[in-house]
Amino acid sequence: MTEVIAHKLAKKQKEISVAEFFERNKHILGFGNPTRALLTSVKEGVDNILDACEESSILPEVYVEIRNHEEGECKVIIEDNGPGIVKNQIPHIFGRLLYGSRFHAVRQSRGQQGIGISAVVLYGQLTTGKHAKVISKIQEDRPATVTELAIDTNKNRAEVVNRDIIHWDKPSGTRLEISIVADYTRGKRFVYDYLQSVSIVNPHAQITFKEPDGTEHLFERTSEMLPSKCIEIKPHPHGVELGTLIKMSKNTKSRKLSSFLKSEFSSMGDRTTNAVCEKSQLSKDLNPKDMSREQFLALHKAFKKVKIMAPNTDCLSPIGETLIKRSLKHETQEISPEFIVTASRPASVYSGNPFQTEVGIVYGGSLSKDKPVKLMRFANRVPLLYQQGDCVSTSAISSIDWRRYGLEQSSGRGIPSGPAIFLTHVSSTLIPFTSESKEAIADIPEIENEIKLAFRECARKVQSHINKKVRRVKTREKFELITKILPEIAKKSSNMLDKPVPSLDKVITKIMDVVWIEDLIEYEKTSPEPVQSTLFDDSTEKREGGWITKSTIMVVNYKNKPQKFKLYALIPEDAVVGTVTPKPMKITNNFIKWNLDTISPADKIDIFFELAGLDKGDFDENDLYIESINASYVIGADKWEGE
């Protein structure tokens, strides 16, 4: 009698361990080739460090070293000054896939799935056969533990090969050493680019990168301020899958549907809860543990039909325009760009997940004029280096007609060419990546739209910069004309005719025929005692001497009639206003406003204000606007369009 086929097959069917799965699908996780593997290893390590430091309010100091001791093999060393890891957790964190603290949390963080660092350990083990070494110290007066570990790929468990205690100078921190098969020669540039990018969106981090030949690169910290803590929020009904909903009902302590909805989800008040129950025709008093699949389905459908308030967006931690600008400036020093503009959007929501976009444009300098603009993409402060073409930020940028803004773009679509770098940062409690390797953000219309809006705003700023530049050249020319050439013409003609040199005031007014506004910004170092302490009140560290930004604005009336108007100077929200002369009409968070009363022809008024709480260079250009005067009369300021 022949064996039943199903039985025969059953003999072959067995559980596939996660580790085995990884072995066969390592490309999905970013270990597809030796170049990629090097970058992924560094990336997973650094992402973890930054998350850990943020959670424990430590300003991160990251050290990355790569040793290339054998052909085709690298030793990756990643060290931090974080809180350290307790001895018993080390094997789980580094030696077990899908183990982590963040997978279940609805919160903005870098790592999400808990595959990251253990995958690196596994990759190292698979390719070199060597064990990973972890040194960790959790308290200043205690020794550090050294753990050597391997992964049992059948059981998805770590095996501790050796464990010891050593003295380590650091107060606390973790150091990981893993040998992997990697292509350093090719991967080097990616590692450098990645760390530089990390530094741009994590201005609070200090990163050191040591190459095999001993060269050290330091990416300096440009902000002493920790990012605001990301608050964990409950899932929003719009973002919950049916399966998750059922699973949540199994774990809840609530005995009634109404309290289950109110306590386990965000944005669910009494009124919304009643509306959902009514819509789904379910009793508020149902015990969630007793509900049927059909009932859950009805509930899930009702979520979509009832109007539910958007989730609270306080949980997001964007970088902020000033900081983006500052770190872009710091990292693009060699390019010496003409200007940097940034824009950030208010938080928004897709499928119940809060998200926020911030963008920046670096323009000009030694950047190539005929190459496509460089795109820098970030999600939750993590650089995205691959799959640029699949990313929603790329399609958003491509759909804007950049030709109006001084960039080249065939037919007004696609990635423009020109001397610019475009930065996109999306922060969200759940970044919708296109794949497990987390390299591109999926095509979500809400996100695409926000990115577009942010870039449009930036583009307008670029436009205004370009206009300003053109105007400035024109102004310089006119100035040269009236101060140098015209007096010479007058002198020469009167000499030839033996007549006195005529007065030129009126002709100059006629030639200029504008109200001319020119400005100058200077910085002054202040004494170490804090001048203003509003910004860093809760900072425990002693503040070093800061910078005072001094802005001088000169207004000259070159019209032939007296002029009066209102002048606005925009100021960054996080700046503190010091001395202002003459007395302004109004000072808000965003601007200073003056009422300039009657400036006679050929008269000049000097305006001055001071800003504290900014670094040198944070505020490097006045944004001036005018009101109650024909804007075409004025050079150096635009028409005030309201707040």
Partner 1 sequence: MTRDYTKVIGRIDSIASKVYDDLTVSEIPYLQLPSRTKSNIQFDQKLNVWKYGKNMTERSAKSLDGAYMMLRTMYMVDFIKDMIKANKSSTLREMYYISEGWDLAKFNSQPESDSLAEDLEVITSCMREDFKLRPEEDGARVIGNLTVEEVTRNKTKKKIHCQDDVGDSGYSIPYNVEPEKLSFKGVDADFVLAVETGGMFDRLVENGFDTSNRSILVHLKGQPARSTRRFIKRLHEENKLPVLVFTDCDPWSYRIFGSVAYGAIKTAHISEYLATPGAQFLGVTPSDIENYKLPTDKLTKEDIHALKSELTDPRFQESFWKQEIKLQLNLGKKSEQQALAKYGLDYVTDTYLPEKLAEMGMIKK
Number of residues that bind partner 1 (CB under 8 A): 23
104-163 binders of partner 1 (CB under 8 A) = none
| Gap between the Cα atoms of 413 and 397, Å rounded | 9
Query: Site for partner 1 (CB under 8 A): which residue of 415, 507, 521, 577?
Result: 507
**What is the token pair recorded at 605?**
């008024």
- Taking the complex as a whole, how short is the minimal distance between the CB of residue 491 and partner 1, in angstroms? 9
Does position 490 interact with partner 1 (CB under 8 A)? The reply is yes
Half-sphere exposure for 107 (CA within 13 Å, toward CB): 16
Phi-psi region of 99 (alpha: psi -120 to 50; beta: other; left: phi over 0): beta
Q: Decide whether 495 or 598 has the Cβ nearer to partner 1.
A: 495
Does position 492 interact with partner 1 (CB under 8 A)? The reply is yes
Among 106, 101, 351, smallest CA distance to 235 is for: 106
Nearby residues of 455 by Cβ (< 8 Å), 6 or more positions away: 343, 359, 361, 396, 397, 400, 422, 424
Query: Site for partner 1 (CB under 8 A): which residue of 59, 160, 248, 511?
Result: 511
Query: Site for partner 1 (CB under 8 A): which residue of 12, 15, 497, 529?
Result: 497
Does position 576 interact with partner 1 (CB under 8 A)? The reply is no
Using CB under 8 A, which of the segments 138-146, 151-159, 499-507, 571-579 binds partner 1? 499-507
Query: Site for partner 1 (CB under 8 A): which residue of 8, 301, 506, 525?
Result: 506
**E strands of 211-261, at which residues?**
216-219
| Gap between the Cα atoms of 280 and 306, Å rounded | 10
On whether the CB atoms of residues 49 and 62 are closer than 8 A, the answer is yes
Nearby residues of 40 by Cβ (< 8 Å), 6 or more positions away: 29, 30, 31, 119, 120, 437
Query: Site for partner 1 (CB under 8 A): which residue of 161, 218, 489, 585?
Result: 489
- Taking the complex as a whole, how short is the minimal distance between the CB of residue 496 and partner 1, in angstroms? 4
Q: Decide whether 141 or 488 has the Cβ nearer to partner 1.
A: 488
Query: Site for partner 1 (CB under 8 A): which residue of 502, 528, 545, 582?
Result: 502
Q: At what angle do helices 184-201 and 34-55 cross, to 10 degrees?
A: 30
Q: Decide whether 12 or 499 has the Cβ nearer to partner 1.
A: 499
- Taking the complex as a whole, how short is the minimal distance between the CB of residue 636 and partner 1, in angstroms? 18
**What is the token pair recorded at 487?**
């007096």
Does position 577 interact with partner 1 (CB under 8 A)? The reply is no
On whether the CB atoms of residues 555 and 601 are closer than 8 A, the answer is no
Using CB under 8 A, which of the segments 33-41, 79-87, 129-137, 507-515 binds partner 1? 507-515
- Taking the complex as a whole, how short is the minimal distance between the CB of residue 555 and partner 1, in angstroms? 23
- Taking the complex as a whole, how short is the minimal distance between the CB of residue 482 and partner 1, in angstroms? 9
Using CB under 8 A, which of the segments 80-88, 311-319, 457-465, 503-511 binds partner 1? 503-511
Among 408, 389, 308, 392, smallest CA distance to 352 is for: 308
Q: Decide whether 70 or 505 has the Cβ nearer to partner 1.
A: 505
- Taking the complex as a whole, how short is the minimal distance between the CB of residue 463 and partner 1, in angstroms? 25
Residue type, 364: G
Using CB under 8 A, which of the segments 157-165, 320-328, 370-378, 496-504 binds partner 1? 496-504
Query: Site for partner 1 (CB under 8 A): which residue of 499, 542, 561, 583?
Result: 499
Q: Decide whether 275 or 507 has the Cβ nearer to partner 1.
A: 507
**What is the token pair recorded at 438?**
């987390």
On whether the CB atoms of residues 587 and 567 are closer than 8 A, the answer is no
Does position 495 interact with partner 1 (CB under 8 A)? The reply is yes
- Taking the complex as a whole, how short is the minimal distance between the CB of residue 516 and partner 1, in angstroms? 15
Among 627, 639, 622, smallest CA distance to 570 is for: 622
Using CB under 8 A, which of the segments 218-226, 324-332, 498-506, 618-626 binds partner 1? 498-506
Cα radius of gyration (the chain): 31
| Gap between the Cα atoms of 327 and 454, Å rounded | 19
Identify the sign of the CA torsion 489, 495, 499, 500.
positive
Q: Decide whether 346 or 487 has the Cβ nearer to partner 1.
A: 487
- Taking the complex as a whole, how short is the minimal distance between the CB of residue 509 and partner 1, in angstroms? 8
Q: Decide whether 142 or 510 has the Cβ nearer to partner 1.
A: 510
Bridge partners of 365, per DSSP, are none
Q: Decide whether 304 or 474 has the Cβ nearer to partner 1.
A: 474
From residue 459 to residue 488, the character string flagging contacts with partner 1 as x (rule: CB under 8 A) and all else as - is: ------------------xx-xx--xxx-x
| Gap between the Cα atoms of 343 and 422, Å rounded | 11
Phi-psi region of 353 (alpha: psi -120 to 50; beta: other; left: phi over 0): beta
Nearby residues of 579 by Cβ (< 8 Å), 6 or more positions away: 608, 609, 610
Using CB under 8 A, which of the segments 47-55, 151-159, 386-394, 506-514 binds partner 1? 506-514
Among 165, 146, 184, 144, smallest CA distance to 64 is for: 184
Bridge partners of 74, per DSSP, are 180
Among 397, 335, 77, 58, smallest CA distance to 202 is for: 58
- Taking the complex as a whole, how short is the minimal distance between the CB of residue 488 and partner 1, in angstroms? 5
Does position 561 interact with partner 1 (CB under 8 A)? The reply is no
Among 81, 117, 82, smallest CA distance to 99 is for: 117
Q: Decide whether 10 or 473 has the Cβ nearer to partner 1.
A: 473
Using CB under 8 A, which of the segments 144-152, 175-183, 385-393, 492-500 binds partner 1? 492-500
**What is the token pair recorded at 541?**
């560290």
Helix (H, G, I), strand (E, B) or coil at 441: strand
Q: Decide whether 514 or 614 has the Cβ nearer to partner 1.
A: 514
Sites of contact with partner 1 (CB under 8 A): 477-478, 480-481, 484-486, 488-490, 492-497, 499, 502, 504, 506-507, 510-511
